[in-house]
A and B are shown apart, each in its own frame.
Chain A
Amino acid sequence: MPGQKLYPRATVKKIVKAHSNCSVSKNADVMIFLDYMLFMQNLVKEASIEAKKGGERGITARSVKKVTADSLAKFKG
């Protein structure tokens, strides 16, 4: 983590631009990525809980899929 950058800012900006058809202000992408990080945290946490519930060892595709819709709904504006 220290040496490399956390995420490609330009890519995130492009993604959001493409989806919203709006320009993104200079530093809004940082907040967007923060939101994305929160989403990922939520997703992974829920997925790990789900995996533990299902008796799986690690996080599996099944648990992630099961949880995806829920955490997406949580982050809906």
Chain B
Amino acid sequence: MARESRPLDATPRAATAEPISNFRRSLIQTPGSQRRLQGLSASGRKIAPPTATPHARAAFRTIDSRRAAIFTPHRARRKSVREARDSPRDLLLGLGKVLAKKTEPIVTSSSSPGDTPNNNRSDDDDSHETTLGPLHMSYDDDDEADLPKRPRLSLPIDREDESGSDDLVPHRSVLLENEDNYTMQSVEMPRRAYSEGPGGRLSMNSTRMSDFFNTNDMLHSEDFGRESGMFPPINVMEEEGTFTMADILSPERLESDTGRRDTGRESDFGIHVPVDLDDQTSFVIAPEVQSSPVRQPDDLDEPVYNDFALMEDQRSDSDDGAMDHGLDDFGDIGELPDMEDEDPDNAANETTTHVDIGNRTETEVLTHAQRAELRAAAAARKKRINISKHGIQYPSLPPAVVKRLAQNFAKTSGAKGKITPDAMNAIMQASEWFFEQLGEDLEAYSKHAGRNTINESDVITLMRRYVCFLLSYNLRFSSRQRQVNSLTTPFALASRHLPRELLQDLRMPPPVLSKKRRKAGEGAVPATAEEDESVT
């Protein structure tokens, strides 16, 4: 009703009397109310037609609000109140005010005739008779009369609101300053400010505690507990956690302290892995050193390899004769990977046997330790010369070849061709192990055949196991197509993998070998048939 009486295009009266309320009303206008206004908005612009889509209506509304904001003359004055306007709380408050005027049942419910007037009357009859007088009268009148008058009667404030519903500006600002600040101050704002403030945690803790005890006495006791009691323990816990993490990450400490392992089984398990990994990455020799002494007893026992065993015995001999021959021998033998493990035994033997020498043995042991270190360092530094279990020196496969192979296979297997140096080291290690194993197996095959030479047939016999594995693997995919035989014979594999000149070498040998190869292929076929049956 007030809106209808108000001029639509922003008049000075509306601006001066209630600038904010006017502005807000133009903002909050609902489509229905706009239609009532004969298609003219506050700025006199044509509003959305009733057939417009909701989006179009919304667009019109926003445009209208913008125009109203632009064309209303007292924008500058409103800027002074802009803070209040900007907060969404203010908008909500304004909305509430506007709605409160329209929706009267709310007002009536708040000051319902059944409860509050009676209570007021009963309570106030004793104490405040002066205020009760008008209340009592108005209540009697309104009980049977129209409803909208009741709010007036309940409180004088309500009456002011209704009468001066449009000039709410001062009232709202007051509200903002008082009530809103109260709610905003209530619990969280100051705490956040302290916690997010710069500076160390401990210092902030101390200041925070003092501040809290002084300022926020009104707050709950939980806050005190949280601030004072909980935070230091949390810090302690975090520190402990970091310590354990550091322990897990650093292998030295774990190795040194066995008492550390009382942290639990899982941590124990987790601990062991990185230690091994670190060892392998840092010392490539380590596994070799461990693997080789296992075989040495065989070598020493076997009379066939006495020549080579002598080479190894040189170590112990030279240990004895270190004084005689000087340290030059050690330089050569230093490259033997087996030395480190043998050192303690030899040293012990020496100390037991040559107790009479006394000082000499001690110096010897010392030199042993130093030499072992030097050896390890040298081996890590330069490309070391490997010695097989038979005591034969052999070169390692050039890393470039291995890398090229690995990259090619990595590309074909789907991964990127890039291989990290660490992975390259691991692959080199694996290939060394492979050749070791292959040599032993081939030796066993050739010896079994009564030969002293490794033939191609031996290699094929060795490969047949893997080829059979390949067959069983391929069966799942191509058993129906019968490609198995041609695909997985060693010769087919060779023709797939090897360059032509090497293939020629394979084909060139006399037919005896090819027969053998064919035999191998035929031998593989029945196996595939059996597996075919087993699979299918």
Contacts and interface: CB of A to CB of B under 8 A. Distances in A.
Contacts of A32: 438, 442, 459
Given A18-B388, A38-B493, A44-B406, A1 B499 contact: yes
B453 interface: yes
Contacts of B394: 14-15, 17-19
B444 interface: yes
B242 to A, nearest CB: 25
A27 B456 contact: yes
Contacts of A37: 405, 497-498
Interface string A15-58: 11111111111111011111111111101110111011000011
B397 interface: yes
Nearest to A61: B422
A76 B469 CA distance: 12
Contacts of A31: 456, 459-460, 463, 490, 494, 506
Interface stretch (B21-29, B46-54, B426-434): B426-434
Main secondary structure of the interface of B (DSSP, over half): helix
Interface string B435-479: 111111111111100011111101111110110010000000000
A6 B442 CA distance: 22
- The interface centre, meaning the residue of A35, A62, A71 with most chain B CB atoms within 10 A of its CB, is A35
Contact of B453 (A25, A60, A71): A25
A27 B502 CA distance: 9
B136 interface: no
Contacts of B498: 6, 30, 33-34, 37
A61 B420 contact: yes
Given A23-B452, A44-B410, A76-B437, A64 B404 contact: no
Contacts of A7: 397, 401
Given A8-B398, A19-B389, A58-B418, A40 B466 contact: no
Contact of B397 (A12, A23, A59, A63): A12
Given A8-B398, A20-B440, A45-B413, A34 B490 contact: yes
B431 A30 contact: no
A22 B443 contact: yes
Nearest to A45: B413
Interface of B: 277, 280-281, 305, 308, 386-390, 392-398, 401-402, 404-406, 409-410, 412-416, 418-420, 422-423, 425-427, 429-431, 433-447, 451-456, 458-463, 465-466, 469, 490, 493-494, 497-499, 502, 505-506, 508-509
Interface of A: 1, 6-8, 11-12, 14-28, 30-41, 43-45, 47-49, 51-52, 57-65, 68, 71-72, 74-77
